[in-house]
Amino acid sequence: MKQLKINTLGDFSISCGNKTLTESNRRSRNAWTLLEYLITRRGKEVSSAELIDLFYDDSKNPASALKTQINRIREMLDTLGCASGKELLVSRMGGYEWAPPVNCVIDADKFESLCKQASSMHEDKDGQLETILRAIEMYTGDYLPSQAGEAWAIPIISYYHTLFIRAVYMACDLLLEKKRLSELITICQRAVIIDPYDEKIHISLIHALAESGNVKDANKYYLYAIDMFYNQLGVNPSDEFMTLYEETIKTLNETEVDIDTVMEYLDADTENVGAFQCEYDFFKHIYKLESRASIRDGRNIFISIITLSEDKKAPLNLKKQNLAMEKLGRCVKYSLRNSDIFARLSLSQYIVLLTTSSIDTADMVMTRILKRFRHDNPKTHVVLNYNLKNIHN
């Protein structure tokens, strides 16, 4: 018996035997969109009124436009040789229905079935893992990606996307239990391509890299993810994510490694000019060490927080804010000594650790940073403020 295969995840295609219809060879964008909608509503009669309201409301003759697109779809389907276009896309009283008379396999249905099956296999962990891995393998991208901006498609795309993310969470937990770290890393790497903004998957990937001994890669990926959250999403990472730096350092300390590996890790991405910029969690470690040392030898240490905010005359969007923060970071770095340290504290703030003789000197240093920013970036209209405090007062 002939079988009709429909792919909806990652792209859209219909095939029967060795013949395939894809969006690349579509005759009409409108016809293809209509077909995708009817397949999404498979097994249900869709009224002409509903289709006209969705796709042809602005047409001078909407009923005629709909009929024309239906005929185009049927002509395309005829070329598959599986069943006639009229048999696949059936006319009903007042509407149409996708109701193929042959066996029709849709990848989204199979994916959903595997996810539900895995969720019910509580007593069979091995079977549950293999089932959920099969589901993840099927998910090559979101449902009907070419329709991502359409209101009718958004809830369905979200539904399958959520199933996928939950499947990845389940697979990560099961693979971690079995110490199958290489597979866990591969799953996470695939998942972040599909959903680059899911923090939990990034966390799982970093943990897996660190636990498998790839501490340098874990550190690099952590820095990449932090930058992405700030500069692409425009959000502050969670506390759990920020503490990952400490976890990767801990993993390095607990693992037997040779001295070359340690030196490579410590020297990674460092620069000898200007202050040392690090992640906030590492900054906290340095702060604790310097605080104890300053009590012992009587040094003054100051903490300053620089805040960048919007100028009322020049509203900031995320792109402009990120660019301004990059410029401010460079000014902080090259206005301080090599022995000073600073970190990005939030979407719009840097925190600086200064060792100077007095608060007046520290105030001069911070003023110098702001003046340098104004001098180097006269066309960047933002408001800069800073707070300054002796850590022992």
Rounded to whole angstroms, how far apart are CA atoms 262 and 280? 21
Is pLDDT of 202 > 70? yes
Q: How far apart are CA 380 and CA 320, in angstroms?
A: 9
Distances in Å between the Cα of 252 and the Cα atoms of 247, 271, 312 are 9, 22, 47
The sheet carrying 341-346 orders its strands as 276-278, 341-346, 349-355, 301-310, 382-390
**pLDDT tens string 31-44:** 999 999 999 999 89
β-bridge pairing 3-7 and 103-106: parallel
Is the alpha carbon torsion for 143, 148, 150, 155 positive or negative? positive
* 3-state SS, residue 325: helix
- 295-312 burial: b if 16+ Cβ within 10 Å, else e: eeeeebbbbbbbebebee
The model's pLDDT over 156-167, given as tens digits with 9 standing for 90+, comes to: 999 999 999 999
Which pLDDT score is estimated for 293? 75
Note the pLDDT tens digit of each residue in 293-304: 777 777 888 999
* Predicted model pTM: 0.74
Gap between the Cα atoms of 80 and 70, Å rounded? 16
If one compares 220 and 24, the residue with the highest pLDDT of the two is: 220
pLDDT band at 79; cut points 50, 70, 90: very high
The count of other CB atoms within 10 Å of the CB of residue 359 is 15
The answer to whether 175 and 203 have CB atoms below 8 angstroms apart is no
Q: What is the mean predicted confidence (pLDDT) over 87-114?
A: 94
